[in-house]
Every structure is written in structure tokens, then in C-alpha cells.
Amino acid sequence: ELILYNFLPDQLVNKSTCQGFCFNILCIGETGIGKSTLMDTLFNTNFENFESSHFEPQVKLRAQTYDLQESNVRLRLTVVNTVGFGDQMNKQESYQPVVDYIDRQFESYLQEELKIKRSLHNYHDSRVHACLYFISPSGHSLKSLDLVTMKKLDSKVNIIPVIAKADTISKSELHKFKIKIMSELVSNGVQIYQFPLDDETVAKVNTAMNGHLPFAVVGSTEEVCVGNKMVKARQYPWGVVQVENENHCDFVKLREMLICVNMEDLREQTHTRHYELYRRCKLEEMGFKDTDPECKPVSLQQTYEAKRQEFLVELQRREEEMRQMFVQRVKEKEAELKDAERELQSRFEQLKRLHADEKAALEEKRRLLEEDQSSFNKRRAAAQLLQAQSLTANGKKDKDRKK
């Protein structure tokens, strides 16, 4: 059975309660530090729990949403758990997914707000209202990952630091540890959530509770018989640690502050401080301004027109740049072609010269050959003549002899 301890209606007297509202808790802490157990103890239930290994390559965020009801108030509770937090070598790999998750929820709210047809009244608001940061009960000091992560988150979310498994550390040590943690947070400029003092009905209790931070918590869903009552507790050979006993730990203080007294303030701070900051940065990034350099107000229309003009000028500049580039390329190509043509022409001329030289040489050879041939012919004719003459001469001699 889910019990919200009958305090919710008090915080919502002026709200339309039947409509219900969302509350989103982010639990950051290393694997096995007791996140799921504490959530189960806080909401007196058994949420689905998946244990994670220490070997996750990167941090994942797992969100689970539950619809809770108390008298006439409906609460849509989302519990977001970091899976594998602190198991990476590189710190940034641990906190960046958390930062990104928070920003994504802001972004989707902003997108809804910017729609023409907004439906914020039935929008499922997933922005993180409270971040429980689980500190390991070492008794020494905060880890550098704790400081880095909280510093990255303190302008994005309401951080409530808790010392986990506070039953594993002695009371005197715990007292010193709390002081040490607070001084480390202050000296590193980490802004944690302060319970508000402006509403005088709760100012006194909130002042006292601010002095107990960080809350030392113990979680357990097991019930043990103490006196003649069943109470949530952790049982040890040396005794019983009662979760809801204020002498044993700060669990009740956390529950009071988170659910009973300040739930509405956490939601409000999320909207008016953290979301507002995100929205402002995002709109400025997009180029929207409320005033011009002379501090005169600028309307959305003017900003839009100015942006449009800026865009058109830029477009023209880019077009001109591209045209110039094109002309340049054409010129280059033309010059290249001219060069190639010249080259070809000169090779052609060279070949022509070579060819003419060869032709001349051949002509010369032919002329010599023809000369040779005609002198040969002449000599042959002369020889034939001689031969003929000698033949006739010989014939005469023969005749003369016969005679």
C-alpha cells in the first residue's frame, strides 16, 4: 500500500487537487549504495528493482513512473535511478549522462511551451524536482566525483545530499563527517537546496532541518518487532537500527522535508529557478533578446525580422562567395586547357619538323639511288655497246679466215 502520510492536501489547498500533479526524484549514487531500498522505504512500497553490476560501460538513467493516490490527491511519482554511476574510469563519463538527462527534460518542457497549441495542463512534466545525492559513509571526505557532479548539477536541480547506510558509521564519526561534508561543499562553491524560510508557518522547522544536512539515512523494508510494535528496521547481532527512530537516523527528517513540508517548494524552485535559467540560456542561444544594445525593449517580431534579415544577408554573401568560386574554377580550368593545347601544338610542330627532316633525308637517299642507278645504266649501256662491237669485229675475222 502506498501511503503519502496525509500531508499532501495541506500543501495544495489552493490548487485544483483532483487534477493531480507530478513529482520527480532523481537518485544519484554508486552501485549498491542503497538507492532503491531508500525509495521503497520512503514510499512504503516495493518498486521494481533491478540490481546493477559494477561493469556498466556507461551511466544510464532509468526512470519509472507510478501513480499514487491519497484521499483526493493524485500524485504521479517518477523515480529516476542512475545505473552504473561511479564505475567509470573517467569522471566525465559518470556525470555527463546525468546532466544530459536533466537538460532533456527541460528541453521537452520548453518545446511544449513554444508550441502554438500548448497543452501544459495535461503535459507529463518530467523535470527533476529533487535530486537525492547519496554520499558513501566513508567518514573521511567527499570523493572528487561527488564534488564535480554536484557542482555540475547545482544550477540545474535541487540537490539534497544524504549520507547513505548511516547505520554503518558511529554516531560521533557521523557528526564529524556531516561537518566535514558541509565545509567541503561550501569551499567548493556547491549550492545545495536550502529548505525555504519565507513561509513563516514552516520557517522554524526548515531552519532546524537546514542545520541537520546532509541527512544520514538508513533504508529497510524489513519489519522487526520492537516493544509490541512492528517497525521498519535493520537487525544486527548487536541490536536493531530503527529506520523511523530519530535517535537512530535522519530518515524521518528526510521524509518530512521531501514529502510533507517542501514538496511544493521543490516543484516551484524547479520551475522558477532551474527551468527559468535553462530557458533563458536556450532562448539567448537562439538569438532572442528582451532589449537592444540601448536597452530599448525588443519584441519577438522584431527579433524574428532581424534574424530573418541577418539570414538573408548571410545567404546572399554565401551565394556571392559560391559564384566567385565558380568563376575562379572556370578560369583555372580554362587556363589548364590552354596550357594543354599549347603543349599539344608544340608537340605537333616538333613531330611535323621531325617528319619533314625524315622526308628530306629520304628524298636525298632516293636522289643518290637514282644517280647510282642512272650511272649504272650508263655503264651498262656502254658495256653492251662494247660487247656488240667486239662481237662484230670477231665475226669479220672469222669470215676473213674462212675465205
Ligand X SMILES: Nc1nc2c(ncn2[C@@H]2O[C@H](COP(=O)(O)OP(=O)(O)OP(=O)(O)O)[C@@H](O)[C@H]2O)c(=O)[nH]1
Q: Between 73 and 159, whose beta carbon lies closer to ligand X?
A: 159
Residue 167's binding partner among ligand X, Mg ion, none (Cβ under 5 to 8 angstroms by kind) is: ligand X
Please report how close the Cβ of residue 33 comes to ligand X at its closest, in angstroms.
5
Half-sphere exposure of 5 (CA within 13 A, CB side): 15
Half-sphere exposure of 156 (CA within 13 A, CB side): 22
Residue 167, interface with ligand X (CB under 6 A)? yes
One residue of 4, 35, 154, 258 binding ligand X per CB under 6 A: 35
Residue 34, interface with ligand X (CB under 6 A)? yes
Residue closest to 100 by CA, chosen among 60, 144, 134: 60
Task: Give dist(CA 215, CA 203) in Å, integer.
Answer: 18
Residue 17, interface with ligand X (CB under 6 A)? no
Residue 37, interface with ligand X (CB under 6 A)? yes
What is the contact surface with Mg ion in residues (CB under 5 A)? 35-36
Q: Between 35 and 234, whose beta carbon lies closer to Mg ion?
A: 35
Residue 36, interface with ligand X (CB under 6 A)? yes
CB of 216 closer than 8 Å to CB of 249:
yes
One residue of 127, 129, 156, 165 binding ligand X per CB under 6 A: 165
Write out the binding residues for ligand X, residues 225-244 only, by CB under 6 A: 234
Residue 265, interface with ligand X (CB under 6 A)? no
Residue closest to 208 by CA, chosen among 193, 197, 192: 197
Residue 165's binding partner among ligand X, Mg ion, none (Cβ under 5 to 8 angstroms by kind) is: ligand X
Task: Give dist(CA 164, CA 124) in Å, integer.
Answer: 30
> Per CB under 6 A, which region of 163-171, 199-207, 301-309, 332-340 contacts ligand X?
163-171
Half-sphere exposure of 280 (CA within 13 A, CB side): 10
Residue closest to 75 by CA, chosen among 27, 9, 121: 9
Half-sphere exposure of 158 (CA within 13 A, CB side): 25
Task: Give dist(CA 328, CA 380) in Å, integer.
Answer: 77
Q: Between 80 and 266, whose beta carbon lies closer to Mg ion?
A: 80
Give the binding site for ligand X (CB under 6 A). Answer: 29, 31-37, 49, 51-52, 81, 165, 167-168, 218-219, 234
